[in-house]
Amino acid sequence: MSATTGEGTSLFEGVGARLEAAARVAEVSDDTLERLSLPQSVLKVSVPVRMDDGSLRTFPGYRVRYDATRGPTKGGIRFHPRVNTDEVQSLAFWMTFKCACLDLPFGGAKGGVTVDTKQLSLAELERLSRKYIDQIADAIGPDMDIPAPDMYTNAMVMGWMVDEYATIKRARIPAVITGKPLALGGSLGRETATADGAFHVLKTLRPKLLEADDAAAASGRGRDAPSGRGISADGSAPSVAIQGFGNAGARIAELLAHAGYRVVAASDSTRAVRFDEGLDVAALREAKSSDGELPANAGEEIDPEELLELEVDVLIPAALEDVITPDNADRVRARSILEVANGPVAAEADETLAANGVTVIPDILANAGGVTVSYFEWVQNRGGLRWSAQEVSDRLEEQMVRETENVWKIASECEVSLRTAAYALGLERISEAVDATGSAEAYRNGR
């Protein structure tokens, strides 16, 4: 695929390679690949904001709908100084596959404003959020495109946005945006959904991975596994290291500790700590919420880079993009990587990790719990329903386990990585929808 952004940069530098690998496995029509070669629409707006000091500043804003074949498009809004057309398009493309992989009735979109929110007062942030919605209001709607929070936007920002949309439309339309505060039509379980979903994915895959390891070892093909493969003969619990002890990272740490894992290392933007017998996750969470950072005395303080290279059963990058690259991929000694962050493993590192026997559980599956509960929020809003926390949790588990099984089936039958399998699953579903309105073959045959 060779689409460009119109600004001369290749849109598919990372995702393109992965899509090509998936296209070799999936049953996909040429029409689909052609359809996915360009985004459906790219909206660029200016967002003028009256600042507290009386001056007027204008920020660039974007909303990209990548593909709406499977349903209205869905994707977050990011406020960040690095936001540009290429980034937003790539993220919208990613969302298209994430929604298809999870079988949600959505296409993919993404939006953003190029702004450093740390420089804004709360009132300036509110004016920016409302003005952005003003500028893109004609392009969104519950049947067209449904935004949600992303980096540096949160439930309160979504609250301002849904309120602004109501003012523009002169009607309350909560299903236009998800990730709202509960009181404005948000869903129970949305806050913890990403980590909860990732936990279900890991829980489903782990026995299969261990079995595959055993089979490989029995045939003399496997490499030596690190300690703690399940609750092992020597009694050790599986070990996990987590980069990014934020919303998603801290929650999955809690779930895994509860499930008997040893969280041997954790980091945030201030420091990384290590304690091989297992960190006290509850104490870390408490310190993080009261002081805003991980306590230095939780264990031995290590270089944050070292965390990525520890010999653990599961490494969980839950902070930033591109943290495992060709520069450090060879030093990763984790048995598997659970991608809770978006894009933590650079495409160029995939091959090295695979060659070293590191299994990567890809972001479009691993962190899809968030968009899945966003879908539940949209369903509840449209039906005037309020599901209990238990109902949300049960439905999330069912959906995550089902699609993880589907990804595993493709990976084992076609002998490809879980990432290629996840993309292939999404691609087949998109292709089915594209071809449902007539494929090139059907037109050539006249039916």
The residue among 142, 109, 113, 101 whose CA lies nearest residue 49 is: 113
- Which residue in 196, 213, 254, 268 binds ligand NAD (CB under 6 A)? 268
Q: Which residue is nearest to ligand NAD (CB)?
A: 246
| Interaction residues for ligand NAD, span 344-403 (CB under 6 A) | 367, 370
Give the per-residue contact string, 269-298, with ligand NAD (x = CB under 6 A; - = no): x-----------------------------
Nearer to ligand NAD, 107 or 189 (CB): 189
Distance between CA atoms of 290 and 100, rounded to whole angstroms?
39
**Minimum distance from CB of 81 to ligand NAD (Å)?**
15
**Minimum distance from CB of 370 to ligand NAD (Å)?**
3
Nearer to ligand NAD, 36 or 366 (CB): 366
- Which residue in 39, 244, 362, 426 binds ligand NAD (CB under 6 A)? 244
Residue for token pair 């209001």: 137
Residues in Cβ contact with 124 at an 8 Å cutoff, skipping those fewer than 6 apart:
49, 51, 52
Residues in Cβ contact with 361 at an 8 Å cutoff, skipping those fewer than 6 apart:
201, 202, 205, 336, 337, 338, 339, 418
- Which residue in 247, 325, 328, 356 binds ligand NAD (CB under 6 A)? 247
Length of the chain: 447
Beta strands in 213-364 (DSSP E): 239-243, 262-267, 272-274, 300-302, 314-317, 336-338, 359-361
What's the number of CA atoms in the CB half-sphere (13 Å) around residue 406?
19
Structure tokens belonging to residue 329: 């991929």
**Minimum distance from CB of 111 to ligand NAD (Å)?**
14
Give the per-residue contact string, 59-98, with ligand NAD (x = CB under 6 A; - = no): ----------------------------------------
The residue among 262, 250, 258 whose CA lies nearest residue 299 is: 262
**Minimum distance from CB of 213 to ligand NAD (Å)?**
27
Torsions phi, psi of 412, nearest 5? -75, -40
Tell how strand 145-149 and strand 73-79 pair up. parallel
Residues in Cβ contact with 129 at an 8 Å cutoff, skipping those fewer than 6 apart:
153, 157, 160, 161, 164
Give the per-residue contact string, 158-197, with ligand NAD (x = CB under 6 A; - = no): ------------------------------------x---
Applying CB under 6 A, what is the total number of residues that bind ligand NAD?
20
Q: Are 348 and 325 in contact (CB under 8 A)?
A: yes
- Which residue in 279, 281, 319, 407 binds ligand NAD (CB under 6 A)? 319
Q: Could you give the residue numbers annotated as active site?
A: 110
Nearer to ligand NAD, 28 or 316 (CB): 316
- Select from 1-9, 63-71, 264-272, 381-389 the region that touches ligand NAD (CB under 6 A): 264-272
Give the per-residue contact string, 324-353, with ligand NAD (x = CB under 6 A; - = no): ----------------xxx-----------
Distance between CA atoms of 398 and 173, rounded to whole angstroms?
28
Residue ranges in contact with ligand NAD by CB under 6 A: 194, 243-249, 267-269, 304, 318-320, 340-342, 367, 370
